[in-house]
């Protein structure tokens, strides 16, 4: 961890939840909150997974305050794996915690692998109660393995060309009816070995492109 990353714990529905908060660099004022979800806990997924860390760094570079938690049964987080149901509840608790700590900031959701399933569910819940996420970023989507919720058309979907855990065709088949574009990283496997920089670069580029559209009505 660097000096901008702080460890924290909070109470969850299954006991203690362990997390990390990454603050913007150089003491900059946060322009938003990003909640990042990690891959499957039963296959070694943690909040310090390299893809999860890469997503956190991308949002830090965008001057967001980033929060991650270890899912149930991982690290110091108590409880046992709940097939995404309890994990979704826990991410909602993290949302409540961070929006209370940093009020009036937009909230982005990002996830990798199993974390994409969790975040799609969180996004659906937030939208249903009238507080939709600012934007959703899904890397290595779990489409085809988990029952993903429908996603907004401006969702950022990034997938590896050579992903043998979730074939890219499964992501196309899921995204196509929703008219959501998919960014495919050539040669990348599920864990984006030697390709992590592409994730950060694409998230930042697509995020800033969206912001430019917001700022320029003629481009919206």
pLDDT tens track for 111-134:
999 999 999 999 999 999 999 999
220 located within any domain: no
- Give the strand pairing for 5-12 and 15-22: antiparallel
Six-digit token string for 162: 């050579």
User: Rounded CA gap, 106 and 32, in Å?
Assistant: 5
The arithmetic mean of pLDDT across residues 59-75, rounded, is: 97
Mean pLDDT, rounded, of the chain: 94
- Give the strand pairing for 107-112 and 32-37: parallel
Expressed as residue numbers, the domain containing 31 is 5-215
pLDDT at 217: 47
Is pLDDT of 212 > 80?
no
146 located within any domain: yes
Please tell me the pTM assigned to this model.
0.94
The domain that holds 63 is classified in CATH as 3.40.50.1820
Q: What is the count of structural domains for the chain?
A: 1
pLDDT at 213: 52
81 located within any domain: yes
Residue 58, Cα to own-chain centre: how many angstroms?
11
pLDDT at 210: 65
Is pLDDT of 148 > 80?
yes
Alpha helices, H only, 129-195: 168-175
pLDDT at 1: 57
**Radius of gyration, alpha carbons of the chain:** 16
Number of H helices, E strands in the chain: 5, 8
pLDDT tens readout for residues 9-44: 999 999 999 999 999 999 999 999 999 999 999 999
């Amino acid at each position: 961890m660097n000096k901008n990353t702080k460890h924290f714990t909070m109470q969850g529905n299954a006991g203690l939840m362990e997390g990390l908060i990454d603050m913007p660099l150089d003491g900059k004022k946060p322009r938003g909150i990003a909640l990042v979800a990690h891959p499957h806990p039963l296959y070694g997924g943690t909040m310090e997974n390299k893809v999860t860390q890469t997503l956190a760094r991308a949002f830090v570079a965008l001057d967001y305050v980033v929060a991650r938690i270890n899912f149930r049964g991982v690290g110091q987080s108590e409880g046992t794996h709940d097939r995404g149901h309890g994990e979704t509840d826990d991410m909602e608790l993290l949302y409540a915690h961070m929006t209370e700590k940093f009020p009036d900031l937009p909230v982005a959701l990002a996830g990798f692998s199993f974390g994409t399933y969790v975040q799609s569910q969180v996004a659906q819940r937030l939208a249903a109660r009238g507080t939709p996420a600012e934007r959703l970023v899904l890397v290595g989507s779990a489409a085809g393995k988990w029952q993903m919720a429908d996603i907004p058309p401006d969702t950022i979907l990034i997938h590896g060309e050579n992903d043998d855990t979730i074939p890219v065709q499964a992501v196309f088949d899921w995204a196509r009816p929703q008219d959501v574009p998919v960014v495919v990283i050539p040669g990348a496997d599920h864990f984006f070995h030697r390709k992590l920089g592409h994730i950060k670069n694409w998230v930042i580029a697509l995020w800033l492109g969206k912001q430019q559209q917001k700022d320029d009505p003629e481009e919206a």
